[in-house]
Structure 1
């Protein structure tokens, strides 16, 4: 049964915008700390606990970001399942697995780096005006590939950057203070990761809007006889 994904897509886009806004706030904090660590390195003294911005505002932004990310992930997966179900109505032969995989695939370690992308590709192709012929103008899955690549790169960058930051901060318990050069390098990595997060959120929003619009337009046109292309 077809159900419009437009309402859910708007919710996803709003949440992605909020996540990007928090990333920008964190980016500002990372840049400020990067500059401060440069001063500490020039002075030849370690970074203190206060220098590392362990304050209520920083903690609040981090908690807000985590909550927004969780909410966005939940709504996105609900939307992803909705468009997969619709695509199964449009062209069921494009899929070798049931729509439940549009939810479950995200929770399988390692496989969640591949299976959701494959489902997105299949859903995109089934949602085209004519899924049995060559893609028309604006129907090529380039946006799917860019969105997924950015998502993987941003996720890896986040993990590596925060790991480097945690390691740099943890060193203070042995040295009496964190090495400002190590913290500065970690801050630079966090800046890169934050920028990638913002760009990934932008392309995720574009992907959600475009696929939802394709399905909405296809549903409004109603059933039409489709003749498979002759090879």
Structure 2
């Protein structure tokens, strides 16, 4: 168990993490709506239609430009949301190591694993899983069952990354109009997954933050 001195709860950071997650998902939803309109508009065009030679005032060009603008805005919101989320994870794991013994994931690696190829597919889940277990039963946390909600969250996170990567490959799969249409449909799917992911993520953040704050305060008075 780590030293409790100087360790603060993650409630405030969790609140900001949730707020920015919803800011991000709003941009994803707006982007998905525009992407759906774009995909439908492109689908009605002939196969030999070229966006680079179409009039700038055409509906297809306008929608593609709007789609690109919202994608950029969504990326900015995601970077901010992810940065705050990582700060929350770091603080939360630090608290976890104070209130529970034998926790394997360190605060630094709980964030670092997200950036390591292959390991990022499963290792970041361990930090959240252990934190949840510790908040349920600090004295015997290894035997606490992992709730379905955590597995759903991780599945949605991996699914979102897969869909976004597949959509980004659109121009490589087909450099023509079909490639742009593939990107559009990918953004639609990504927006839908992002909504579910954000709802589950917010529940996890709030639950762990509040439970840890109570346990941390209780430990301070022992």
Which bracket does the TM-score occupy, shorter chain normalised? 0.7 to 0.9
Match among 91, 96, 118 for residue 110 of structure 1: 118
Partners in 1 of 2:38 and 2:172 — Cα distance? 16
Measured against aligned partners, the alpha-carbon deviations of 1:63-121 in whole angstroms (never above 9, x if no partner) come to 2211111111111111001111111011122x234332112222211111111101111
Partner in structure 1 of residue 30 of structure 2: 25
Verify: 1:36 aligned to 2:41, yes or no: yes
Runs (4 or more) in structure 1 with deviation over 6 Å come to none
The alpha-carbon distance between structure 1 residues 66 and 16, as it changes in their structure 2 partners (threshold 3 A), is: same
Offset of 1:47 from its aligned partner?
4.5
Residue pair 1:87, 1:123 contacting (<8 A) in 2 also: yes
Task: Tell me whether 1:217 sits opposite 2:214 in the alignment.
Answer: yes
Residue 46 of structure 1: which of 45, 49, 54 is its match?
Answer: 49
- Does 2:97 correspond to 1:84? no
Following the alignment from structure 2 to structure 1, what is the Cα–Cα distance between the partners of residues 174 and 76? 24
C-alpha contact (below 8 Å) 1:128/1:218 kept by paired residues: no
Contact 2:167 2:187 in 1 (8 A): yes
**1:48: how far off?**
2.3
1:28-61 Cα distance to aligned partner (Å, 9 max, x none): 11111122123214xx652424524343x44432
Cα deviation 1:127-176 (Å, max 9, x = unaligned): 224441765xxx85322211111100111011112212x236623xxxxx
- Sort the Cα spacing of 1:187 and 1:67 in 2 relative to 1 into closer, same or farther, 3 A: closer
Alignment partner, residue 151 of structure 1: 157
Match of 1:60 in 2: 69
The answer to whether the 8 Å contact 1:127/1:214 transfers is yes
Provide the residue aligned with 1:175 in structure 2.
none
Unmatched runs of 5 consecutive residues or more in structure 2: none
- Partner Cα distance (1:61, 1:76) in 2: 22
CA contact (8 A) 2:93 2:106 kept: no
**CA pair 168-100 structure 1, distance change in 2 beyond 3 A:** closer
Give the counterpart of 1:163 among 169, 193, 201.
Answer: 169
- Larger Rg: 1 or 2? 1
Across the aligned residues of Structure 1 and Structure 2, the Cα RMSD in angstroms comes to 2.5
Measure, in 2, the Cα distance between the counterparts of 1:98 and 1:6. Answer: 19
- Give the CA deviation at 1:18: 0.6
Distance 1:188 1:218, change over 3 A: same
